[in-house]
Amino acid sequence: MSEKLIQRLCVIGVGLIGGSLARALKKAGAVAEVVGAGRATSHLQKAKELGVIDRFETDISLAVKGCDMVVLAVPLGAMQTVFEKIAPELNDDMVITDVGSAKGSVVRAAQAAFDMLPDTLVPGHPIAGTEKSGVEASFAELYNNRRIILTPLDTSSDSAVNKVRSMWQACGAEVVETSIEHHDEVLAATSHLPHMLAYSLVDTLAKMDEKNEIFDFAAGGFRDFTRIASSDPGMWHDICLANREALVKMINKFSHDLQQLSKAIESNDSDYIKETFTRAKQARDKYCDSKNINDSLE
Chain residues 69-128 in contact with its own copies, contact rule CB under 8 A: 127-128
Nearer to its own copies, 128 or 160 (CB): 128
8 A C-beta contact, residue 197 and residue 251 = no
Contact mark string toward its own copies, 195..234, x via CB under 8 A: xxxxxxxxxxxx-x-xx-xxxxxxxxxxxxxxxxxxxxxx
8 A C-beta contact, residue 34 and residue 11 = yes
Q: What is the DSSP string of 76-143?
A: GGGHHHHHHHHGGG--TT-EEEE--S-HHHHHHHHHHHSSS--TTEE-EEEE---S--SGGG--TTTT
Among 146, 152, 156, 167, binds its own copies (CB under 8 A): 146
Positive or negative: CA dihedral 224, 225, 230, 234: positive
8 A C-beta contact, residue 47 and residue 53 = yes
Provide, rounded to whole angstroms, the least separation between the CB of residue 228 and its own copies: 5
CA distance 40 to 50: 16
Provide, rounded to whole angstroms, the least separation between the CB of residue 79 and its own copies: 16
CA distance 44 to 15: 9
134 contributes a contact to its own copies by CB under 8 A: no
| Total chain residues near its own copies (CB under 8 A) | 95
48 contributes a contact to its own copies by CB under 8 A: no
- Angle between the 180-187 and 244-266 helix axes, to the nearest 10 degrees? 30
Among 54, 119, 131, 136, binds its own copies (CB under 8 A): 131
Nearer to its own copies, 34 or 247 (CB): 247
Phi, psi of 35 (to 5 degrees): -105, 125
Contact mark string toward its own copies, 154..193, x via CB under 8 A: ----------------------------x--xxx-xxx-x
Nearer to its own copies, 87 or 261 (CB): 261
Tell me the residue type at 167: M
55 contributes a contact to its own copies by CB under 8 A: no
194 contributes a contact to its own copies by CB under 8 A: yes
Provide, rounded to whole angstroms, the least separation between the CB of residue 242 and its own copies: 10
